[in-house]
């Protein structure tokens, strides 16, 4: 469409406007092009022997190119570009699904081999080759993560309360800044810190469950602080003012009004923090080590944990190799199931119990 | 540039819900038409149907015809995008693009339509539009500043400049001054008075005095009750509507008995 | 009841309950600072012996710097590859979810992408080694054949696929969800008013996105990418399992079996069996990694602050 700079007196009159109606592709056009591209790509794959990945790439390129060309000739380049972008963006999404499906498929496929009762009730004590299970690792993971939660939630919750309800000055700004810094700590560095901390008191070479718990809480605390902060900020100020106006002291207002109102969101945040650290391998690898038997005491020597167990079973299997690999995958499957359940739980909590804030 | 608009029996639906019923009106070129009525009576919906902006909401559709310059906006094979390039709109709250400078804001519509434009030509268009919006003198020294650095009234004039830069046939304004202070409102009203020489302007307003001040013709919309469709009750020369309206409902609204 | 005697001094009477509570929240906040300071201090004191020692005593025989530099190189190489692959894809997916997918599906699709984030890294390691690495062999061979003149693909192509290329892909998959999630949030926050302004000018959907959504979201996307980069820099287990590393090597070759290791993977692999000065050396490398991720985070923050004027937050 060209625009003419008006030279005559502007008024109505017969216009040199282009027609409004022009070619439009039929509604089924994109799907037709897609179908055609898939067929063409399939034919090409069969004759030229392309693998699945190349088939998909060729199909995508043909769809995009074909649709663009057709649209450009009928509707113009602007519309054609718009359609092309739609194809690109949809392909991106489909592409992202590929690794996800592959990972889940793989873990399920290999992991289900050992999903039996023995697997969950026996440790690896005295086991060489077949048999054995992850009882010790499962317990270890639950204990260490539980301890980490016990350490992180009070600190995180109270710090968030400070930031939202009290802190207005430089201290608050410093804390906020450093909490952000903490979210970026690599997990292995958190492990090194815990190791070094305990080495100070107990000498180097100490391996205990609680050291791992400390490492995990360094990772959990910033997550708890951030999400709790968000939740506390969502509580409308009118609620606080109503309570204060009734003569309730500030600390009770927070404890009895603000926190209960946001408790669902806080619970969600904590659950997600747990889901985040429960699968961490690196810090536990260097602070807690691994055992074959069951150790339920986090203050006494090494413990097993699911991710570390999976790691060692996979990279340092005994002979014969297969039972070790099977156990590694089954442990991985257990881990992923726990994480998924925690994530679902978090969403459920937030869906069911959150007071309707009208967002 | 300015053209006439003929609306025939326009029904506007959101899904199955009839929002506006059987509107017919004729709008003369180079005039200002005001649409008034109580809130929720469908005047904004109707305005948006004139440049097919109501279709942004999924499920919106119309039956009937809107003919601008001899072409039906809702004809077969008409792309809403093309319609909007020829019918400009100014919104209730000023919305200059915050990530663009003043110059870029005014040029935005031009850039979409004609890819290659020599810089000097673009600068001319920007200056012409800003002059047309009575904003040139205030911003000529800071064309590279962000669009959001202006005051509310200036921002709205920037949006008007942006709309007229592409020389549309019609300019639609949805309560353009309702978010502004009285001085800026007056500035906008003066501007509308000047713009009508070159454009056909349709303006929705809930301010009756404003409608009386600036429009040539006025249409009164009303709604029978919640859940019922809005209707065009009466449309006439502004002077007539405000002194001797023919329909009682119009008279009641104008004298403030409801609304 | 709190009694404030009007006009007689500015401090209100503080109840003991208030004091205790305020004190404990303050303590918690301060504790966070202490922990962080502690991390820095402990790492420094434990890394120091490696710095001060005779270079010949440090693993590798040439001192800590010579030991660390190749590891940093490998870390940056892997993370950059991952970001290069993940960021554009993440922006496209975020756009898809925010502006293209049918409304009802949009949040469901968001969950699906978030599932990628929930998978623990050890599982990506196992998957990368078992499934992905063999699949990249064909690609590596092709790259060596056709693009072998580039230093990245000079080969010889590894037959196991345990290469930097595979690591880059695995890391890319791992950081994709976080970049997508943050970008999606930002795109959804584009003010409707500006989107409508663009549409009213006659823009197509893509043109509207180009004019309003993308510029508005640029700082957010950059910040998201930095977050992803930080994660990729610190990723341990996926790299430790997948990569076939040659200690001390620095090479841009992405498809061979000799690859530089990364700081994190190196620590994970060497730490369990190390003692004495070797431990200190590893802690030194950990400190360097910490410093790098810190710098990346601060850079992300600075970028956001700089764009605040044009960010549309007015």
Instruction: Please report whether residue B131 resides in a domain.
Output: no
Of the pLDDT bands very low, low, confident and very high (cuts 50, 70, 90), residue C1 is very low
- Both tokens assigned to C290: 């910490």
Displacement of CA A4 from its chain's centroid (Å): 55
Alpha carbon distance A315, C268 (integer Å): 13
pLDDT for residue A18? 61
> What are the chain B neighbours of A21 within 8 Å (beta carbons)?
71, 75-78
> pLDDT (tens digit, 9 = 90+) per residue, B219-249?
999 988 888 899 999 899 999 888 888 888 8
Alpha carbon distance A296, A304 (integer Å): 9
pLDDT for residue A276? 86
Same domain, C171 and C41: no
Same domain, C298 and C171: yes
What is the average per-residue pLDDT within B51-79? 87
pLDDT of A215 > 90? The answer is: yes
Nearest to residue A114, comparing CAs of A127, A140, A133, A142? A133
Alpha carbon distance A189, C290 (integer Å): 7
Nearest to residue C99, comparing CAs of B105, B58, B87, B98? B58
What is the average per-residue pLDDT within C85-112? 89
Cα of C190 to nearest chain B Cα, Å: 11
Of the pLDDT bands very low, low, confident and very high (cuts 50, 70, 90), residue A214 is very high
Whose tokens are 């029996």? That residue is B9
Least confident of B106-115, C8-17, C61-70: C8-17
pLDDT for residue A183? 82
Of the pLDDT bands very low, low, confident and very high (cuts 50, 70, 90), residue A359 is very low
- Both tokens assigned to A293: 């038997």
Mean residue pLDDT of chain B comes to 88
Q: Could you give the domains of chain A?
A: 29-99 (no CATH), 120-353 (1.10.3720.10)
Same domain, C172 and C290: yes
What is the average per-residue pLDDT within C256-283? 88
pLDDT for residue A8? 37
Q: Which domain holds residue B91?
A: 5-97+170-254
Same domain, C123 and C210: yes
Cα of B243 to nearest chain C Cα, Å: 36
Whether C312 and B99 lie within 8 Å, measured CB to CB: yes
Instruction: Please report whether residue C60 resides in a domain.
Output: no
Using CB atoms, which residue from A90, A106, A328 is nearest to C100? A90
Mean residue pLDDT of chain A comes to 84
pLDDT above 90: percentage of residues in chain C: 35
Instruction: Please report whether residue C99 resides in a domain.
Output: yes
Same domain, C285 and C149: yes
pLDDT of C145 > 90? The answer is: no
pLDDT above 90: percentage of residues in chain A: 23
pLDDT of C195 > 80? The answer is: yes
Instruction: Please report whether residue B123 resides in a domain.
Output: no
Same domain, C217 and C246: yes
pLDDT of B113 > 80? The answer is: no
Nearest CA in chain C to A101: C116
pLDDT of A5 > 60? The answer is: no
Pair C91, C183: CB distance under 8 Å: yes
Instruction: Please report whether residue C62 resides in a domain.
Output: no
Mean residue pLDDT of chain C comes to 85
Least confident of A128-132, B57-61, B90-94: A128-132
Looking at chain B, list the stretches that DSSP marks H as alpha helix, in order from N- to C-terminal side: 43-49, 80-86, 102-113, 119-132, 136-139, 152-164, 182-195, 208-214, 238-243, 248-254
Least confident of B89-93, C292-296, C298-302: C298-302
pLDDT of A2 > 60? The answer is: no
What is the average per-residue pLDDT within B83-104? 89
Q: Is the peptide bond before B73 cis (omega within 30 degrees of 0)?
A: no
On whether any CB of chain A is under 8 Å from the CB of C87, the answer is: no
Alpha carbon distance C303, C222 (integer Å): 8
pLDDT for residue A11? 39
Chains that touch A (3 or more CB pairs under 8 A): B, C
pLDDT of A353 > 80? The answer is: no
Instruction: Please report whether residue C171 resides in a domain.
Output: yes
pLDDT of A213 > 80? The answer is: yes
Same domain, C43 and C133: no
Same domain, C258 and C162: yes
Cα of B44 to nearest chain A Cα, Å: 23
Q: Which residues are bridge partners to A58 per DSSP?
A: none
Integer angstrom CA distances of residue C268 from A186, B128, C43, C207, C250: 12, 67, 16, 48, 19
pLDDT of B76 > 70? The answer is: yes
**C-alpha triplet A202, A207, A208: angle, nearest 5°:** 95
Same domain, C219 and C283: yes
**Number of structural domains in chain B:** 1
On whether any CB of chain A is under 8 Å from the CB of C96, the answer is: yes
Using CB atoms, which residue from A10, A17, A19 is nearest to B198? A10
What is the average per-residue pLDDT within C289-308? 77
pLDDT for residue C305? 66
On whether any CB of chain A is under 8 Å from the CB of C12, the answer is: no
Of the pLDDT bands very low, low, confident and very high (cuts 50, 70, 90), residue A16 is very low
- Both tokens assigned to C286: 């950990």
Q: How far apart are the first and last CA of chain B?
A: 36
Instruction: Please report whether residue B47 resides in a domain.
Output: yes
pLDDT for residue C9? 46
Instruction: Please report whether residue C6 resides in a domain.
Output: no
pLDDT for residue C158? 84
Of the pLDDT bands very low, low, confident and very high (cuts 50, 70, 90), residue C2 is very low
> What are the chain B neighbours of C212 within 8 Å (beta carbons)?
97, 99
* CATH assignment at residue C146: 1.10.3720.10
Instruction: Please report whether residue B156 resides in a domain.
Output: no
Q: At what angle do helices C164-188 and C63-95 cross, to 10 degrees?
A: 50
Whether A20 and B2 lie within 8 Å, measured CB to CB: no
- Both tokens assigned to A44: 């090409």
On whether any CB of chain B is under 8 Å from the CB of A1, the answer is: yes
- Both tokens assigned to A155: 């600190």
> pLDDT (tens digit, 9 = 90+) per residue, A96-146?
889 889 999 999 998 888 888 888 888 888 778 787 888 889 999 999 999
> pLDDT (tens digit, 9 = 90+) per residue, A318-342?
888 888 888 899 999 999 999 989 9
Alpha carbon distance A282, C78 (integer Å): 18
pLDDT for residue B7? 92
pLDDT for residue C8? 45
Instruction: Please report whether residue C134 resides in a domain.
Output: yes
Pair B191, B160: CB distance under 8 Å: yes
Using CB atoms, which residue from A3, A20, A75 is nearest to B113? A3
Same domain, C47 and C82: no
Same domain, C218 and C276: yes
Contacts of A131 (CB under 8 A, 6+ apart): A118, A122, A323
Instruction: Please report whether residue C73 resides in a domain.
Output: yes
Task: Report if pTM > 0.80.
Answer: yes
Of the pLDDT bands very low, low, confident and very high (cuts 50, 70, 90), residue B174 is very high
pLDDT of C304 > 70? The answer is: no
Q: Report helix, strand or coil for B146.
A: strand
Q: Which domain holds residue C275?
A: 67-310
Q: How far apart are the first and last CA of chain A?
A: 43
On whether any CB of chain B is under 8 Å from the CB of A23, the answer is: yes
Same domain, C31 and C116: no
pLDDT for residue C312? 45
Q: Which residues are bridge partners to B221 per DSSP?
A: B232
> What are the chain B neighbours of C198 within 8 Å (beta carbons)?
97, 108
- Burial (CB count within 10 angstroms: exposed 0-12, middle 13-18, buried 19+), residue A359: exposed
pLDDT for residue C90? 95
pLDDT above 70: percentage of residues in chain A: 92
**Number of structural domains in chain C:** 2
Cα of C86 to nearest chain B Cα, Å: 25
Instruction: Please report whether residue C4 resides in a domain.
Output: no
pLDDT for residue A177? 82
Cα of B99 to nearest chain C Cα, Å: 5
Give the up-direction half-sphere exposure of residue A283: CA atoms within 13 A in the CB hemisphere. 33
* CATH assignment at residue B79: 3.40.50.300
Whether C196 and B95 lie within 8 Å, measured CB to CB: yes
Q: Which residues are bridge partners to B67 per DSSP?
A: B6, B72
On whether any CB of chain A is under 8 Å from the CB of C43, the answer is: yes
């Amino acid at each position: 469409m060209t625009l003419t700079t008006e030279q005559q007196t502007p008024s109505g009159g017969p216009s040199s406007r282009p027609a409004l109606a022009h070619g439009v592709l039929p509604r089924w056009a994109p799907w037709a092009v897609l179908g055609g591209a898939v067929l063409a790509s399939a034919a090409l794959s069969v004759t030229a022997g392309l693998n699945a990945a190349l088939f998909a790439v060729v199909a995508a390129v043909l769809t995009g190119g074909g649709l663009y060309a057709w649209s450009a000739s009928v509707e113009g380049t602007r519309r054609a570009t718009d359609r092309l972008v739609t194809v690109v963006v949809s392909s991106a999404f489909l592409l992202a699904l590929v690794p996800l499906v592959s990972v889940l498929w793989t873990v399920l496929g290999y992991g289900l081999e050992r999903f039996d009762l023995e697997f969950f009730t026996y440790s690896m004590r005295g086991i060489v080759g077949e048999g054995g299970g992850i009882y010790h690792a499962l317990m270890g993971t639950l204990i260490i993560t539980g301890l980490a939660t016990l350490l992180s939630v009070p600190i995180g919750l109270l710090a968030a309360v400070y930031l939202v309800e009290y802190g207005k000055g430089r201290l608050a700004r410093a804390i906020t800044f450093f909490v952000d810094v903490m979210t970026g700590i690599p997990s292995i560095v958190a492990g090194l810190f815990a190791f070094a901390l305990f080495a100070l008191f107990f000498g180097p070479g100490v391996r205990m469950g609680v050291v791992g718990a400390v490492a995990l809480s360094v990772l959990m605390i910033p997550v708890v602080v951030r999400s709790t902060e968000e939740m506390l900020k969502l509580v409308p100020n009118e609620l606080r003012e109503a309570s204060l106006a009734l003569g309730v002291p500030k600390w009770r207002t927070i404890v009895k009004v603000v926190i209960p109102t946001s408790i669902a969101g806080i619970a969600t945040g904590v659950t997600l923090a747990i889901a985040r650290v429960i699968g961490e391998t690196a810090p536990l690898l260097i602070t807690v080590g691994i055992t074959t038997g069951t150790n339920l005491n986090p203050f006494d020597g090494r413990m097993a944990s699911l991710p570390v167990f999976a790691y060692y079973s996979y990279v340092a299997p005994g002979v014969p190799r297969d039972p070790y690999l099977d156990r590694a995958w089954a442990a991985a499957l257990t881990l992923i199931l726990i994480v998924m359940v925690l994530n679902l739980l978090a969403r459920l909590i937030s869906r069911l119990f959150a007071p309707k804030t009208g967002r | 540039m300015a053209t006439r608009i003929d609306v025939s029996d326009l029904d506007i639906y959101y899904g199955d819900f009839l929002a506006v019923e059987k509107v017919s009106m004729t709008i003369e070129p180079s005039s200002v038409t005001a649409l008034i009525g109580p809130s929720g009576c469908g005047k904004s919906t109707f305005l948006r149907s004139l440049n097919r902006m109501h279709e942004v909401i999924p499920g919106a559709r119309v039956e009937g015809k809107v003919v601008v310059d001899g072409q039906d906006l809702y004809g077969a094979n008409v792309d809403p995008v093309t319609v909007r390039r020829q019918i400009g709109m100014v919104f209730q709250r000023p919305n200059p693009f915050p990530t663009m400078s003043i110059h870029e804001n005014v040029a935005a519509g031009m850039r979409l339509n004609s890819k290659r434009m020599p810089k000097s030509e673009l600068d001319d268009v920007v200056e012409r539009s800003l002059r047309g919006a009575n904003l040139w003198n205030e911003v000529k020294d800071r064309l590279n500043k962000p669009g959001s650095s202006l005051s509310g009234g200036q921002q709205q004039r920037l949006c008007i400049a942006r709309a007229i830069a592409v020389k549309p046939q019609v300019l639609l304004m949805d309560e353009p001054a309702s978010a502004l202070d009285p001085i800026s409102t007056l500035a906008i009203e003066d501007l509308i008075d000047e713009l009508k020489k070159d454009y056909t302007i349709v303006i929705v307003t809930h301010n009756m005095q404003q409608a009386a001040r600036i429009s040539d013709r006025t249409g009164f919309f009303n709604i029978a009750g919640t859940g019922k469709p809005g209707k065009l009750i009466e449309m006439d020369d502004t002077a007539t509507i405000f002194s001797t309206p023919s329909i009682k409902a119009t008279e009641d609204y104008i004298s403030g008995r409801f609304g | 009841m709190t009694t404030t005697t009007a006009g007689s001094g500015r401090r209100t009477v503080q109840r003991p309950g208030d004091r205790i509570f305020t004190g404990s929240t303050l303590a918690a906040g301060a504790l966070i600072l202490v922990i962080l300071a502690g991390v820095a201090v402990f790492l420094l004191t434990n890394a120091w012996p490696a710095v001060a020692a005779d270079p010949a005593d440090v693993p590798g025989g040439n001192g800590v710097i010579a030991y660390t530099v190749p590891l940093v190189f490998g870390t940056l190489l892997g993370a950059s590859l991952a970001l290069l692959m993940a960021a554009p894809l993440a922006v496209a997916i975020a756009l898809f979810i925010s502006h293209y997918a049918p409304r009802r599906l949009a949040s469901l699709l968001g969950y699906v992408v978030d599932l990628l984030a929930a998978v623990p890294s050890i599982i990506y390691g196992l998957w990368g080694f078992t499934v992905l690495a063999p699949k990249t062999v064909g690609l590596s061979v092709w790259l060596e054949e056709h693009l072998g003149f580039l230093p990245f693909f000079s080969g010889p192509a590894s037959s196991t696929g345990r290469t930097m290329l595979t690591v880059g892909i695995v890391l890319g998959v791992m950081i994709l969800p976080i970049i997508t999630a943050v970008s999606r949030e930002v795109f959804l926050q584009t003010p409707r008013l500006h989107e409508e302004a663009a549409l009213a000018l006659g823009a197509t959907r893509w043109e509207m996105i180009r004019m309003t959504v993308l510029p508005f979201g640029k700082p957010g996307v950059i910040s998201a990418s930095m977050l992803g980069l930080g994660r990729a820099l610190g990723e341990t287990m996926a790299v430790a399992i997948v990569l076939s590393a040659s200690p001390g090597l620095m090479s841009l070759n992405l498809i061979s079996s000799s690859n530089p290791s990364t700081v994190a993977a190196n620590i994970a692999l060497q730490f369990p069996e190390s003692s004495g000065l070797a431990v200190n050396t590893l802690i030194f490398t950990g400190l360097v990694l910490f410093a790098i991720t810190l710098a990346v985070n601060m850079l992300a923050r600075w970028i956001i602050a700089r764009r605040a004027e044009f960010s549309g937050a007015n």
